[in-house]
Amino acid sequence: MGNCCGARFKAEIHNVSASVASSKYVSKDASGLSASSSKGSSASVPPTVRSEGEILQSSSLKSFSFGDLKSATRNFRPDSVLGEGGFGSVYKGWIDELTFVATKPGTGIVIAVKRLNQEGYQGHKEWLAEVNYLGQLDHPNLVKLIGYCLEDEQRLLVYEFMPRGSLENHLFRRGSFSLSWKLRMKVALGAAKGLAFLHSDQVRVIYRDFKTSNVLLDSNYNAKLSDFGLAKDGPTGDKSHVSTRVMGTYGYAAPEYLATGHLTAKSDIYSFGVVLLEMLSGRRAIDKNRPPGEHILVDWARPYLSNKRRILRVLDTRIEGQYSLGEAFKAATIALQCLSTEAKFRPTMGEVVLALEDLQNNRVSDPNTKIQDISYKDHNSGKVGTEKTNNAKASYPRPSASLLFS
């Protein structure tokens, strides 16, 4: 999988959401805003309580033995390490495509195996949260979880291998291939579609840890979201937010979430704005090696984002000449609106998807137009209108509730 590193600020783990839908969901259209259940139902499924055993039993995931994964990764050899983080290490391995039996390196299919560090702070609850969410949700912009291992004290997860690694590596690792403007906008759009899927009316999952190291790239630079250990169900009924302990990564968390612990989908949208700004600037969200006043990217860049003449000061010099000023300003405007200090002024992820699609298709509108006012076509009704809220209705069943994590 790519690099799993990141400076997480975390309180003692008491509650991590791990509820997911009771059937599998597949996106119907390119936007990821309209989908159908693999069981053919478009009705909302009432929340039901699921125990740990039910989560594992109902999952369509492969249950691997520890011996299987030990063989697949050549005994977790150091030279097989793909990345490391708070959870533990991620190893490259090989299995047979049909039987899932370990094979020799270079044969079968490549997998990424995440092994829990038993002394780490991301414990069993986060491991179970990943099994719960990724074992049920299916979307082109979410990394595919193939299986898991639960044996004695061993906790492992088996994912599809993402050959291009993480967005973080491409943006910040020295010697790495520098993504072009076109590829950066492609990655931004793919990641936005993944979040839009999670935020859809009848899925309502808050990702809570959107950052460059959790955006992985396949061989064609298609973006997929990984690491659902901190994901949480969004508010239901007349609730406006979910109250939770503050967890995530410093530099990406929304200010109101840091201040109150009130979590909403708008928290993810702020994080998306930070990542989009990192992609535009080539700078990290937090970089203490920068000159004074430039350590926090959002604070430094914000004054330049609304000025068409000053925006060039923010943009990554490695992609100079690959975009028009109109395109750059439109992308900066999207980032700036996602970074609104007040959550109510941030767009929905559905609106962000539409704005990025326009940008990718070279449809650059009046730079003063807010992305909430972009004319759109509803994929379900075919009607054209002005999107003020996320009106594109999805047909996925509502994720089921779980008492494991409140």
Q: What is the mean pLDDT of the chain?
A: 79
pLDDT at 1: 52
Has 238 been annotated as catalytic?
no
Confidence of residue 28 (pLDDT cuts 50, 70, 90): very low
Query: How much of the chain exceeds pLDDT 90, in percent?
Result: 56
Most distant CA pair in the chain, distance: 60
Through-space distance between the first and last CA atoms of the chain, rounded to whole angstroms = 29
137, pLDDT greater than 80: yes
Compute the average pLDDT of residues 225-238: 81
Q: Are 281 and 296 in contact (CB under 8 A)?
A: no
Cα 156–chain centre separation: 20
22, pLDDT greater than 80: no
Q: Are 356 and 364 in contact (CB under 8 A)?
A: no
pLDDT at 187: 98
The larger pLDDT score, comparing residue 331 to residue 239, is at 331
Compute the average pLDDT of residues 277-302: 96
Rounded distance between C-alpha atoms, residue 200 and residue 265, angstroms:
10
Top mean-pLDDT range of 23-27, 53-57, 310-314: 310-314
Rounded distance between C-alpha atoms, residue 126 and residue 231, angstroms:
9
pLDDT, tens digit (0-9, with 9 covering 90-100), for 245-259: 777 788 999 999 999
pLDDT at 13: 28
**Residue 56, helix vs strand vs coil:** helix
pLDDT at 247: 78
DSSP-derived secondary structure for 246-301: -EEETTTS-HHHHHH-EE-HHHHHHHHHHHHHHHHH---SB-TTSPTT-SBHHHHH
* Cα–Cα–Cα angle for 320, 323, 328, rounded to 5 degrees: 95
pLDDT, tens digit (0-9, with 9 covering 90-100), for 53-95: 767 766 688 999 999 999 999 999 999 999 887 678 999 999 9
Confidence of residue 179 (pLDDT cuts 50, 70, 90): very high
- Hey, what CATH topology would domain 167-386 get? Transferase(Phosphotransferase); domain 1 (1.10.510)
* Cα–Cα–Cα angle for 5, 122, 139, rounded to 5 degrees: 70
pLDDT at 53: 75
Domains 8-160 and 167-386 share a fold: no
- The CA distances from residue 209 to 232, 249, 272, in Å, are 10, 7, 10
Sign of CA dihedral 358, 364, 370, 374: negative
Rounded distance between C-alpha atoms, residue 338 and residue 340, angstroms:
6
**Residue 375, helix vs strand vs coil:** strand
pLDDT, tens digit (0-9, with 9 covering 90-100), for 10-21: 333 233 333 333
In sequence order, which residues have a C-beta less than 8 Å from that of residue 117 and are 6 or more positions away? 86, 87, 88, 89
Cα 367–chain centre separation: 27
Compute the average pLDDT of residues 134-147: 93
pLDDT at 155: 92
Rounded distance between C-alpha atoms, residue 299 and residue 192, angstroms:
23
CATH fourth-level superfamily of 8-160 = Phosphorylase Kinase; domain 1 (3.30.200.20)
Q: Are 236 and 217 in contact (CB under 8 A)?
A: no
Confidence of residue 122 (pLDDT cuts 50, 70, 90): low
pTM over cut 0.75: yes
365, pLDDT greater than 80: no
Helix, strand, coil abundance in the chain, percent, nearest 5: 30, 20, 50
Question: Could you tell me which of 306, 297, 296 has the C-alpha nearest to residue 278?
Answer: 297
pLDDT at 143: 96
- 68, 79, 201, 209: which one is catalytic? 209
CA-based R_g, the chain, Å = 21
State yes or no: 266 annotated in a binding site: no
| Look-up of token digits 């996925």 | 396
Question: Token pair for residue 290?
Answer: 């920068």
Confidence of residue 380 (pLDDT cuts 50, 70, 90): very low
Rounded distance between C-alpha atoms, residue 187 and residue 167, angstroms:
8
pLDDT at 29: 43
Instruction: Tell me which amino acid residue 366 is.
Output: D
**Domain spans of the chain?**
8-160, 167-386
